[in-house]
């Protein structure tokens, strides 16, 4: 199966967007998951609803909301462009943002389950030995939730690779800029005679997804063995 230079560019851009979206989501997902799993506060239920809202809203609605907020005329879009020089609308950065938001609930849910499964007695024991709160979190808690972190990261990555509705609404499908695998496949299927090219990209999507799942399974098993040896 030979891909053209344009098709390889689509694959590379999709991988780039998915990776950036996952890395962008993880720190915030860890923090939110920790809050939901370990803290009781006013508005916790509302925060949980907001986090999971992208799962139940039509993706087009999420994409339109992103366009209103992060578009060139949107309040957050203008802020990022003015102070950081980052433009989201109709750029690959916007595709990464849309993918990150759509995959965020899946990452949070996986990591939250990891926090809830941790034996807090181990954390308390480390604290009694003189470890600070931050040291306990980094040296005890994070290693214990490594399998959940990997699961969340892979779910977020897979969601980012397959994201379509919010992305095409927010950044359209611009070749070389925001044209990802899903949008390219959709475009090819609308063109007479484009089925063969679409099938090649579909095959690439399947291969990437299978590899991601296989690698995550391998890493999760290694992490579980390491945690068991603690």
- Domain borders along the chain are 5-228
Does residue 217 sit in helix, strand or coil? helix
Mean pLDDT for the chain overall: 87
Rounded mean pLDDT of 149-166?
90
Which pLDDT does position 228 carry in this prediction?
Answer: 59
55: CB partners within 8 A, 6+ apart: 105, 106
Higher pLDDT, 126 or 43: 43
Higher pLDDT, 206 or 3: 206
Which pLDDT does position 16 carry in this prediction?
Answer: 94
CA distances from residue 170 to 43, 68, 180, 213 in whole angstroms, order as listed: 29, 9, 13, 28
CATH of domain 5-228: 1.10.3720.10
> pLDDT band for position 230 (50/70/90)?
low
Residues 77-120: tens digit of each pLDDT: 989 998 888 999 889 999 999 999 999 999 999 899 889 888 88
- Tell me: pLDDT of 124 over 90: no
> pLDDT band for position 132 (50/70/90)?
confident
> pLDDT band for position 229 (50/70/90)?
low
Residue 82 half-sphere exposure, CB side, CA atoms within 13 Å?
10
Residues 47-88: tens digit of each pLDDT: 999 999 998 999 999 999 999 999 888 899 989 998 888 999
Place of tokens 């470890």: 131
CA distances from residue 35 to 51, 101, 107, 170, 195 in whole angstroms, order as listed: 12, 18, 14, 30, 47
- Tell me: pLDDT of 207 over 90: no
């Amino acid at each position: 199966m030979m891909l053209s230079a344009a098709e390889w560019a689509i694959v590379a851009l999709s991988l780039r967007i998915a990776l950036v979206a996952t890395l962008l989501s993880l720190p915030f997902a860890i923090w939110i998951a920790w809050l939901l799993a370990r803290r009781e506060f006013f508005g916790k239920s509302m925060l949980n609803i907001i986090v999971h809202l992208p799962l139940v809203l039509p993706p087009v609605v999420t994409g339109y909301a992103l366009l209103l907020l992060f578009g060139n005329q949107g309040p957050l879009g203008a802020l990022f462009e003015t102070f950081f020089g980052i433009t989201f609308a109709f750029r690959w950065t916007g595709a990464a943002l849309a993918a990150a938001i759509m995959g965020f609930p899946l990452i949070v849910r996986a990591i939250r389950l990891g926090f809830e499964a941790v034996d807090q007695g181990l954390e308390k024991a480390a604290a009694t030995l003189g470890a600070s709160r931050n040291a306990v979190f980094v040296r005890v808690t994070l290693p214990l939730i490594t399998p959940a972190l990997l699961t969340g990261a892979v779910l977020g990555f897979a969601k980012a690779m397959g994201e379509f509705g919010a992305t095409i609404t927010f950044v359209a499908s611009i070749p070389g800029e925001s044209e990802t695998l899903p949008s390219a496949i959709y475009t090819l299927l609308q063109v007479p005679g484009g089925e063969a090219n679409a099938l090649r990209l579909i095959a690439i999507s399947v291969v990437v997804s299978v590899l991601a799942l296989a690698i995550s399974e391998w890493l999760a098993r290694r992490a579980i063995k390491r945690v068991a040896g603690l």
